[in-house]
Amino acid sequence: MEIIKNTISQDEKYNEAWPDITLTDSGILICVYSQCTEHSDRSFTQIMLSESKDRGQTWSPKHPLTESTENRPYYYNTPRIQKMKNGRLIVTVDRVYGEHGTHSEARIVLYTSDDDGVVWDNGYETPASGIVPDKICELNNGRWLLSCHHKDSDSQKLVQRLWYSDNEGIDWTGPIIVAKNQELNMCEATLLTVKNKVVALIRENSGKGLGCFKTISNDGGKSWSEAKEFPLAGCHRPVSGYLKNGYVMVTYRFFPGGRWGVFHNLQGAVMEAECLLSQGKKEEKVRIFQIDHDNSPRPDTGYSGWVQFDDETIYAVNYIVDYRMKSFIRGYSFKMPESWFPTVKNIDKNAIKKRKKLKSHLVYDTV
């Protein structure tokens, strides 16, 4: 599979990181990301936007969505962007009060645009308290789910929570615990509707190299099942969505465990949507592939976003250091092979018989 890479934005003065992307009704790609002094220094932050009108081949110069936070009592962290069912664009970002790494008070802020990103409002703080928000999960009944995580004061572990709104963000109910464990850190969830349920895939942040965890809600996000490990090993910051063919794709940072700071790889995974509802790993069949590798001696990569065009081409965004001094925003254009999405009708039975004669292990049904 060929992956075409290009630079969306690069600045020698600032770290650019934690991007996301959406595709507007008029065909414009909009990429949102944070620029800051350093990953570990948030004395200056600002959320930026860039646009592309040619499917990601070229990008506009970056311009600000938010104010600079220099000399302010807060900083901006990790933005997300999405197109709602009514065409409205929403950027979701955590505004953190206090110093980076202290798990200080944080609020989730929403910015909206009704003209494909030409004009944005000034944003408003929601009651949702925490960091690294997911995109709003919009249910079929109109309910919005807004998820983020915080550090529990008793256990000192990270807990994934959400708030929900039944009137498009005017009023919110919460917090509701999505995943909590006395021994593990549950954070950075991605929410996806599967049939009439909501599935959350969650990063475990203890540095043990565990897979992501999965939990399911049967009542529109009001209650959740016990979180169980899902076969995406070393999964940080999963980002899920549907492909045009009905399969689910997840992009994520691969962190195998061990010493912190070895954030080398951006990976992807594809699977049938039904496997997200299964109760055992034998039914959770996943195909994993690598999208990029950070060649820097001090790598920092793997927070991503993606969209798919009508011709099934995918455009993904990621931040990476690679051969430069500071992280920058990179884009990826690719189309996955049809063989990755097998169905009974397109299996070559003669090829299967031949492989069985050769005593080869048959893996055609592992997606």
pLDDT tens per residue, range 287-304: 999 999 999 999 999 999
Domains of the chain plus CATH, in order, are 4-357 (2.120.10.10)
Task: Tell me what the mean pLDDT of segment 272-282 comes to.
Answer: 87
Q: Return phi, psi of residue 297, to 5°.
A: -65, -15
Summarised one tens digit per residue, pLDDT across range 153-171 is 999 999 999 999 999 999 9
For the stretch 334-338, contacts whose Cβ atoms lie closer than 8 Å and that sit 24 or more positions apart, written own/partner, are 334/1, 334/2, 334/3, 334/4, 334/291, 335/1, 335/311, 336/1, 336/270, 336/312, 337/1
pLDDT of residue 343: 59
List, in sequence order, every beta strand (DSSP E) within 222-337. 228-229, 235-242, 248-254, 265-271, 287-293, 304-308, 314-320, 328-334
The 8-class DSSP code of residue 338 comes to G
Summarised one tens digit per residue, pLDDT across range 189-243 is 999 999 999 999 999 998 888 899 999 999 999 999 999 999 999 999 999 999 9
pTM: predicted TM-score of the whole model, two decimal places: 0.92
Position 365 pLDDT exceeds 50: no
Angle at CA 191, nearest 5°, toward 66 and 168? 60
Confidence of residue 98 (pLDDT cuts 50, 70, 90): confident
Summarised one tens digit per residue, pLDDT across range 307-341 is 999 999 999 999 999 999 999 999 999 999 999 99
The 8-class DSSP code of residue 20 comes to E
Higher pLDDT, 58 or 104: 58
pLDDT of residue 256: 85
Confidence of residue 367 (pLDDT cuts 50, 70, 90): very low
pLDDT of residue 11: 97
pLDDT of residue 302: 96
pLDDT of residue 209: 81
> For residue 176, what are the β-bridge partners?
162
Residues of the chain with pLDDT > 90: what percent?
Answer: 84
The 8-class DSSP code of residue 43 comes to E
Position 175 pLDDT exceeds 50: yes
List, in sequence order, every beta strand (DSSP E) within 77-185. 80-83, 89-97, 106-113, 124-129, 137-138, 144-151, 158-165, 173-179
Q: Please state, rounded to an integer, the average pLDDT across all residues of the chain.
A: 91
Instruction: Give the integer Cα–Cα distance in Å for 30 and 56.
Output: 9
How far are the Cα atoms of 75, 179, 188, 253, 274 from residue 213, in angstroms, in the given order? 29, 9, 11, 14, 16
Q: Return phi, psi of residue 273, to 5°.
A: -60, -35
* Range of lowest pLDDT (49-63, 111-125, 273-287): 273-287
pLDDT of residue 274: 93
pLDDT of residue 360: 43
